[in-house]
Amino acid sequence: MSFSDYRTALVTGASAGMGAALVERFCKEGLTVHAIARRQDRLEELAARTGCIPHALDMTDIDSLTRLLRGLEIDVLVNNAGAGRAGSIPSASAEDIDALVDLNVRSVLHTVRTVLPGMMERDRGHIINISSIAGHYNFAGNTIYHATKAAIHMLSRQLRVDVLGKRIRVTEICPGRTETEIFDRNHGVTKDEAREKFYEGYEVPSASHIADIAAFAINLPSYVNIGLIEVTPTFQVPGGLTTLKSKAQ
């Protein structure tokens, strides 16, 4: 399948960054794109620029989300909405845990649960889950975020089992450092501070690169499924091994 085989798309977390770039790319490809995000002003600007259909909605409001999705026929679903918070489990609050699990995992499961049966009935569809290298590799901090993105990784693999025999593809796009608003929104720093700390002097992918990669996966023939795409800067490598000496000598 390619864009010509699909009519509609749904992108969550669409008001900025990768979500907005995906909406813009899909609209250019001729799809009717439903864009979900909390920030209505950003959505209205995006709709004016791209022609997408905006839905101002909190993804963690499952009742409202389900009512919206039941009224839509979606061919391409992009689960992009997500948040992160710095810190380890010992420093995390109960609210930190609940907020990330509700947005990064719970809302995704309910979105797929509601949209997927229609795809299966029509025997066409493509689900793209935006995860993170944090769901595949260990590095310091952001423990809750790591755990929730690992859940999205396993969901992506399991969905392939659930739809076996149907012409439905599932792709996990797993970015490393990418220039978006995630650091200033989730790390307690300003936009200027985030740019200086995480982007100045670095060569990193942009949100439009992620949209191009999603388009590549969609445009392949229906019998080709790209299951996992890991995207990092050339000068970024995940992993590493830390060993500490014991205090007792």
- In this structure, the strands spanning 228-231 and 8-12 are unpaired
Asked if residues 218 and 30 have their Cβ atoms less than 8 Å apart, the reply is no
Task: Express each pLDDT in 160-180 by its tens digit.
Answer: 999 999 999 999 999 998 877
Q: For residue 249, is it within any domain?
A: no
- The domain of 220 spans 3-231
What is the Cα–Cα distance from 79 to 14, expressed in whole angstroms? 10
Task: Express each pLDDT in 49-94 by its tens digit.
Answer: 999 999 999 999 999 999 999 999 999 999 999 998 888 999 999 9
Q: For residue 211, is it within any domain?
A: yes
Q: For residue 245, is it within any domain?
A: no
Q: Which two tokens stand for residue 38?
A: 């909390």
Count of structural domains, the chain: 1
Q: For residue 78, is it within any domain?
A: yes
Task: Express each pLDDT in 216-233 by its tens digit.
Answer: 999 999 999 999 999 999
Residue 176 is which amino acid? Answer: G
Q: For residue 238, is it within any domain?
A: no
Classify the phi-psi angles of 165: left when phi > 0, otherwise alpha if psi is within -120 to 50, otherwise beta.
left
Q: For residue 244, is it within any domain?
A: no
Taking the chain, what is the end-to-end CA distance rounded to the nearest angstrom? 63
* Residue bearing the bigger pLDDT, 87 or 10: 10
For residue 243, pLDDT beyond 80: no
Query: Residue 112 belongs to a domain with what CATH number?
Result: 3.40.50.720
SS3 content of the chain, % helix, strand, coil (to 5): 45, 15, 35
Q: For residue 246, is it within any domain?
A: no
Instruction: Please pick, among 145, 199, 202, 223, the residue that the annotation labels catalytic.
Output: 145
For residue 249, pLDDT beyond 90: no
**Burial of 164 per CB tally in 10 Å (0-12, 13-18, 19+):** exposed
Q: For residue 39, is it within any domain?
A: yes
Q: Could you tell me the pTM of the whole model?
A: 0.91
- Active-site residue flag, 145: yes
